[in-house]
Amino acid sequence: MNIKYKHIEILILFFLFFNSFQYSIIGQQKIVAKDVINNSHKDLKEEFHSKILDVKRYMGLGQYQKAYDLIKNINPKIKQQEFISYRVELLYQQLGLYLIFEQIEKANAVFYSNYESIAKDINEHQDKIQLNNKLNSMHSWLESRGNNNLIKAEEILIKSINYIKQNGLENSLSFLYTQLGLADCYILMYKFEQAKSILLDIKGKITDPKDHINCLLNRSLGNFFFKTKNYENAILYYEKSLQQINSQKIHIDIKVELLENLAELYHKRDMLKKAYSYLLESKSMNDSLFGSRSMQNKVLFEIRDKNAKQIAEQKLIILKSKKDVWFLKSVMYISSLVLLIIGILIYFFRKIKKQKIEKEFIEDEKRAEHIRQKKELELKNKELLSSALQLMEKENLQEDIKEQLNKIEFKEANTPIIRKIIRSLKIDRSKKWEEFDMHFTALNHSFFKILKDEFPLLTKTDLKICAFVKLGFSSKDMSQIMGIGVEGINTSRSRIRKKMNLKRAVVLVDFLQKIKEH
């Protein structure tokens, strides 16, 4: 009996040991499997994060086709709630892509089809405040830039700002971006005081001059000063933004807008050479980003968004017959070639026409400016000479009054008073005529320079007499203005004719009026 029980005990112990060993192996296998899943999940997150950074980089460099392909590749793989932050970022980039190419219907479709599901998943995420803010920024961006509904955009942004404030994140970068969006909205709504207040607040909060938001802030400040007609400051901030785009290779999509605005501003300031330079650069940039490739991108969007089933059906129809395929290809090649040639011709004709219009516009501007300056000079000369004639009349009147007072006999008691009156009428010509001479010389500097270059023997007095003659003054008027006798003026005129080698038949006033000032 004892031996039998011992055998049973040994069997029980062996069975218990075997079970515990089996459970230990299974437990280790579960731990290993869990570690593998966790590592795989971590690798997925790193992969998605890296690809999203590539999308942002492509967008910043204006490589929109690459960005679009990558978005389409990632989107189906991140539908789970745990990847919500990546979904928000991809939606932001995809929305931006559609708005850049003015595909408003697609922008509305992609945003509103994803809005509810994304908003639901965001509320279960630890960074829901930041993600909600980004979603609201997208919403306002679509309404203002896409749908031109500024009132709705303003409402969304104010709601988002209040939400961030309630959660104590006023100093976060996302809050500053939201404020900047509201400021841009106010600029478009001509609410300049509100826009100015927000922009100055943002400027005071930014500490890092290399932060990307500085580029957008400077663009917004430029827009503000442009709208309020402070063109000097507008140029300053636009050029700051442009410098950051070029140095940091960011926000290429706004570069064309900045270049066009700078061209317009320099044109307003009559700096035509610089305006033309910016205009050419903007056209070149526009062609490289949105010109020859923009139609390809739009077609690309259309093709990539088609249903795969329809594409397969089209392929089956095309492959029914080799003859049909060959004919279809021939038609397509010929049509494409014809369209390409027509497109190239239209492009070059428009380019030549634009260049011609721009050239004519600049020449017209120069001519108009020359005429305006000439008329302004004539007007100022007339005003100056009118004041000179009034001065002469006043002097003559004073002389007459003095002469009359000297002829009249007064009582001895009144003599000191009369003498005091006569002394007060004493004419001090020197100072007033010096001022007249200085202004007259400054106004006619261009005319004097042309005469002096062509006829170097002319003296300063000769140049003044030429100006008076051109303006139609008589020798008597010139005599009074210059304090020289009439005979002296006539002698000077004869001397001027000799220095100019004018023939007898040439009238001096006609000759001087034909001289063009530049």
Q: What is the residue-averaged pLDDT of the chain?
A: 78
CA 118 to CA 83: how far, in whole Å? 10
CA 345 to CA 333: how far, in whole Å? 18
**Is 457 inside a domain boundary?**
yes
Q: How far is CA 173 from CA 55, 98, 140, 199, in A?
A: 21, 25, 17, 14
36 has a pLDDT exceeding 70:
no
Give per-residue pLDDT as tens, 408-420.
766 666 667 766 7
Residue whose entry in the numeric block shows the structure tokens 């570690």: 35
CATH code of residue 439: 1.10.10.10
CB 15 within 8 A of CB 9: no
Task: Look at the chain and report how many structural domains it folds into.
Answer: 1
Per-residue confidence band for 429, with pLDDT thresholds at 50, 70 and 90: low
Residues 6+ apart with CB under 8 A from 190: 227
CA 271 to CA 59: how far, in whole Å? 33
Q: What radius of gyration do the chain's Cα atoms show?
A: 42
CB 465 within 8 A of CB 473: no
Q: What's the mean pLDDT in 180-206?
A: 90
**Is 259 inside a domain boundary?**
no
The pLDDT of residue 252: 77
Q: What's the mean pLDDT in 50-72?
A: 83
**Is 387 inside a domain boundary?**
no
**Is 502 inside a domain boundary?**
yes
Q: Of the given ranges (316-320, 460-464, 494-498), which has the lowest mean pLDDT?
A: 316-320
The pLDDT of residue 237: 92
**Is 487 inside a domain boundary?**
yes
The pLDDT of residue 401: 76
Structural tokens at position 76: 């189906």
Residues 6+ apart with CB under 8 A from 285: 255, 256, 259
Q: 408: which DSSP letter? A: S
The pLDDT of residue 293: 42
Residues 6+ apart with CB under 8 A from 136: 156, 157, 159, 160, 163, 178
Residue whose entry in the numeric block shows the structure tokens 């590749």: 73
Per-residue confidence band for 224, with pLDDT thresholds at 50, 70 and 90: very high
Question: Where is pLDDT greater, at 507 or 126?
Answer: 507
The residue type of 63 is Q
The pLDDT of residue 291: 55
pLDDT > 70: percent of the chain: 75
The pLDDT of residue 292: 40
342 has a pLDDT exceeding 90:
yes
Question: Where is pLDDT greater, at 27 or 352?
Answer: 352
182 has a pLDDT exceeding 80:
yes
CA 212 to CA 511: how far, in whole Å? 64
Q: How far is CA 431 from CA 38, 381, 399, 427, 434, in A?
A: 96, 19, 18, 10, 5
Give per-residue pLDDT as tens, 457-483.
988 888 888 888 887 888 888 887 777
**What distance separates the 2 farthest-apart alpha carbons in the chain?**
177
Question: Where is pLDDT greater, at 160 or 187?
Answer: 187
Give per-residue pLDDT as tens, 105-142.
888 998 898 888 888 888 877 877 888 888 888 888 88
185 has a pLDDT exceeding 80:
yes
The pLDDT of residue 307: 42
Residue 410, number of CB atoms within 10 A of its CB: 12
**Is 55 inside a domain boundary?**
no
Q: How far is CA 89 from CA 56, 441, 451, in A?
A: 9, 68, 71
Give per-residue pLDDT as tens, 348-404.
888 898 888 888 888 888 888 877 877 776 677 667 667 766 766 776 777 777 777
Q: What's the mean pLDDT in 283-302?
A: 58
Per-residue confidence band for 300, with pLDDT thresholds at 50, 70 and 90: very low
407 has a pLDDT exceeding 50:
yes
Q: 147: which DSSP letter? A: S
Question: Where is pLDDT greater, at 349 or 406?
Answer: 349
324 has a pLDDT exceeding 90:
no
Question: Where is pLDDT greater, at 429 or 136?
Answer: 136
Angle at 21 between CA 20 and CA 26, to 5 degrees: 95
CA 373 to CA 518: how far, in whole Å? 10
Enclosing domain of residue 442 = 433-514
CA 192 to CA 64: how far, in whole Å? 34
161 has a pLDDT exceeding 80:
yes
Question: Where is pLDDT greater, at 168 or 385?
Answer: 168
**Is 480 inside a domain boundary?**
yes
Q: How far is CA 6 from CA 11, 12, 15, 27, 440, in A?
A: 9, 10, 14, 32, 137
CA 392 to CA 388: how far, in whole Å? 6
Residue environment code for 289-315, b if the CB has 16+ CB neighbours within 10 A, otherwise e: bbeeebeebeebbeeeeeeeeeeeeee
Give per-residue pLDDT as tens, 82-103.
788 888 888 888 888 888 888 8
Residue whose entry in the numeric block shows the structure tokens 């955009």: 153
CB 148 within 8 A of CB 107: no
497 has a pLDDT exceeding 70:
yes
pLDDT > 90: percent of the chain: 12
The pLDDT of residue 381: 67
The pLDDT of residue 108: 92
**Is 293 inside a domain boundary?**
no
The pLDDT of residue 303: 45
